[in-house]
Structure 1
Amino acid sequence: MEQTVELIYRPTARDFAAALRARRRASPMARRQRKIFAIGLPFIAFCAVMAVITGGGVSDIPVPLLVPALFALVAVPLMPRLQARAFQKLAERQGELRTVVAAAGLHITTDHSSTAMDWTTRPRLAEGPDVFVLLSPDKHGFEFTVLPKRAVATPAEMEHLRSLLDRHTTRA
């Protein structure tokens, strides 16, 4: 008899925020963005400081330098939270999720729909402290499925789930 693990849960914004963080760690595009941000922001700050030192005031900082820096300082940290809220609002409409993980793949049932996916649709795995994130085969993981660890009933089921995921996916 095939063993399965069933997760029953209502997705939260926290689940999606954790999933987006895990997906971001697995995405080459996100890693590039972090590098650009890590190099670009100090460079812009350096240029702004130099403009103040050499020009004598904040008003001498060029606007084309200041506007992107301020936008990056505000928007970049807020983006994952805003995306997580948007995903959670969409998921709220579906009600409770019942996800069955088995050797054949995933079967997800909501209050309004049901879908089955084999492992070829989610062959990559990113793990965060609170979630498993199954990613689509594309290198950016545009499609993903969140499995909150809080929805696993027992430590034995958690080990079985981890075993199934390790057997059928590759770590991203």
Structure 2
Amino acid sequence: MINSAAKDNTRNRTSPKPSFQKVLRKSSLSFLAMTPLLLATIGLVGMFQVLVSPEMLASLFRGHPLFDTFTGTLSGAAAAGNPMVSYIIGGELLNQGISLYAVCAFLLSWVTLGFIQLPAEIEVFGGRFTLYRNILAFIFAMITAMLTTITLQILS
């Protein structure tokens, strides 16, 4: 009796694996449902990169470490894009005399935050997760930027 009950429990726990075609069809439908959001996000990021120049970003910074870190984090989050492009913009900002606090915060938030992608992220991950992830990324981008700059000042 005990053996047959154990076998029945084992049978109930395992479910048949869905076929590859069924999984592929379900994944394709999910991707197609997200396509408009993805295209809109790519379009907004592209427009922002074309319309906002490094000179426009440089005009936002005042020279105060805390204010520059906050502004750098906000502008990086609004200007989300490709990490490779962010290094070029970061170099241009440093060449224009923008503080390392601001540039570090900008680069970190450029890659980890993204106000433009929020609708797509909410659709995929849910509102609560997206809110927590973005708040924590915002806070830690500022902390990391400040600690990086302070560490570099101590070491040099």
Fold-level match, TM-score > 0.5? no
Which has the larger share of strand?
Answer: 1
- Higher alpha-carbon Rg: 2
TM-score for both structures, normalised by structure 2: 0.30
TM-score for both structures, normalised by structure 1: 0.28
Point out which structure has higher relative CO (alpha carbons under 8 A, 6+ apart).
1
